[in-house]
Amino acid sequence: MQLRLVTLEEGKNPTFNSIRITNQSKGNFPMRLLGFMLLFLCIGVGFSIINMFKIRYLGTQNISQGAHTLIQSCSQDPNSLQDWIEPPSTYMHTLDDNELFWRASFVPQIKDYPFKRSPKIAFMFLTRGPLPMAPLWEKFFKGNEELYSIYVHTMPTYRANYSSSSVFYKKHIPSQVVEWGMMNMCDAERRLLANALLDISNEWFVLLSEACIPLQSFNVIYSYISRSEFSFMGAFDEPGPYGRGRYDANMLPEITIDQWRKGSQWFEANRKLAIDIIKDLKYYPKFERFCRPDCYVDEHYFPTMLTIQSPNLLANRTLTYVDWSRGGAHPATFGKDDMSAEFFRKIQQDHTCSYNSQPTSVCFLFARKFAPNALDLLLQNSTQFFGY
């Protein structure tokens, strides 16, 4: 190894010094570049690992929803009153039932609303698939858009094809399988109520089937329901095999046989009772476990629970007419041969009941079961039969 001494002249020479510094910089440049590359590689690997864990434990949907929420929070004022009172822009969501019921159970503690509120009736249709009577309902609803909401629960495999001008367009909620006589029937009814409760303007909730029709004009029905002091749910004590005979002693101590009630599946409930139904955790497990198929849980769960909790709010009758006189496990079905003014006069006038503790002959606002072949005659004569 040879050592070279730098002379005094070389040390004082600026050109010599700049050449030496440049050579040193060229030697360090590859090392710096490599360091930067390693740093970016580590950052990229770190983000990849974080995203893998997010996808694995949260799912891509939640991540995208989180991003969407973040975008909304940047573009909107989250503290505005409108954010609290605006109904969901779409009925389709990814909440499971527990999440949905929890969200729907929020209750304003001050009833003096700080905004203009038009109380609405939520018409909730529980059906397997299509609504054969939809054209008649369209005629019934026309011109009353500010006073009603519509919710439809079908079998999950059904895909509706209503036109964008229909009142039923995009009114379907996330649905699950429903079986006659099983607890999932009540689950579907609670699901309808919970989705309807998300709209704070919905004050009354009516459960209907695909075979139901309205027997009065919208104005008559709205006035009848909105002015009633009670909600219309049948709840009576039947001592025979189809009433108390379905009671199971395993329901003690929450439910005694004296509290056991039976009623029609088709009901109307106000907002308080609707919230009581979807937030129930006390009676639901008993009915789910001990009111099995032969018990027909949809005839007993809500009437029994609400009779125990809020008996003073129930009219103890239904608003939906059905004919059980022909016998069998199902009520009579009415076809085109039954459609006449006299037929509907008997339903609308030949009955006596109580309305706000006063006798009345207007007892039924809806009726079932109507076959699809009755639709044309109903449409042609709706003004004569029903006033709309």
Residue 301: pLDDT over 70: yes
| Residue extents of the structural domains in the chain | 89-319
The gap between the terminal CA atoms of the chain, to the nearest Å, is 112
pLDDT of residue 348: 94
pLDDT of residue 42: 61
Between residues 61 and 281, the one the model is more confident about: 281
Q: What is the mean pLDDT of residues 60-67?
A: 40
Judge if the upstream peptide bond of residue 369 is cis by omega within 30 degrees of 0: yes
Q: In whole angstroms, what is the distance from residue 147 CA to residue 145 CA?
A: 6
Rounded (10°) angle between helices 301-309 and 183-197: 60
pLDDT of residue 61: 42
pLDDT of residue 35: 62
Is residue 359 a contact partner of residue 303, using CB atoms and an 8 Å limit? Answer: no
pLDDT of residue 78: 53
By the 10 Å C-beta count (0-12 exposed, 13-18 middle, 19+ buried), 231 is classed as buried
pTM of the predicted protein model? 0.80
Q: Which fold has domain 89-319?
A: Spore Coat Polysaccharide Biosynthesis Protein SpsA; Chain A (3.90.550)
With pLDDT > 90 as the criterion, what percentage of the chain qualifies? 71
pLDDT in tens, 16-62: 444 344 444 445 555 665 665 666 566 655 555 555 544 444 443 44
Q: In whole angstroms, what is the distance from residue 39 CA to residue 49 CA?
A: 16
Q: In whole angstroms, what is the distance from residue 84 CA to residue 268 CA?
A: 26
Q: In whole angstroms, what is the distance from residue 319 CA to residue 230 CA?
A: 12
Residue 113: pLDDT over 80: yes
pLDDT of residue 36: 59
User: What's the mean per-residue pLDDT of the chain?
Assistant: 86
pLDDT of residue 84: 78
Q: In whole angstroms, what is the distance from residue 245 CA to residue 241 CA?
A: 4
Residue 77: pLDDT over 80: no
By the 10 Å C-beta count (0-12 exposed, 13-18 middle, 19+ buried), 133 is classed as buried
Residue 222 Cα distances to 115, 205, 219, 323, angstroms: 22, 11, 5, 24
Residues 6+ apart with CB under 8 A from 201: 85, 87, 117, 118, 119, 120, 149
pLDDT of residue 51: 53
pLDDT of residue 102: 96
Residue 105: pLDDT over 80: yes
Is residue 163 a contact partner of residue 182, using CB atoms and an 8 Å limit? Answer: no
pLDDT of residue 322: 95
Please, which pLDDT band fits residue 85 given cuts at 50, 70 and 90? confident
DSSP-based three-state secondary structure for 153: strand
What element of type H or E holds 380?
A: helix 375-380
Amino acid at position 223, single letter = S
pLDDT in tens, 208-252: 999 999 999 999 999 999 999 999 999 999 999 999 999 999 999
pLDDT of residue 293: 85
pLDDT in tens, 141-166: 999 999 999 999 999 999 999 999 99
Please, which pLDDT band fits residue 87 given cuts at 50, 70 and 90? confident
pLDDT of residue 63: 35
pLDDT of residue 134: 98
Paired residues of 329 in beta bridges: none
pLDDT of residue 80: 83
Q: What is the mean pLDDT of residues 193-216?
A: 98
Between residues 86 and 205, the one the model is more confident about: 205
Cite the DSSP H helix spans in 3-148: 8-12, 14-57, 59-75, 81-85, 97-104, 134-141
Judge if the upstream peptide bond of residue 14 is cis by omega within 30 degrees of 0: no
DSSP 22-64: HHHHHHHHHHHHHHHHHHHHHHHHHHHHHHHHHHHHTHHHHHH
Residue 70: pLDDT over 70: no
Please, which pLDDT band fits residue 298 given cuts at 50, 70 and 90? very high
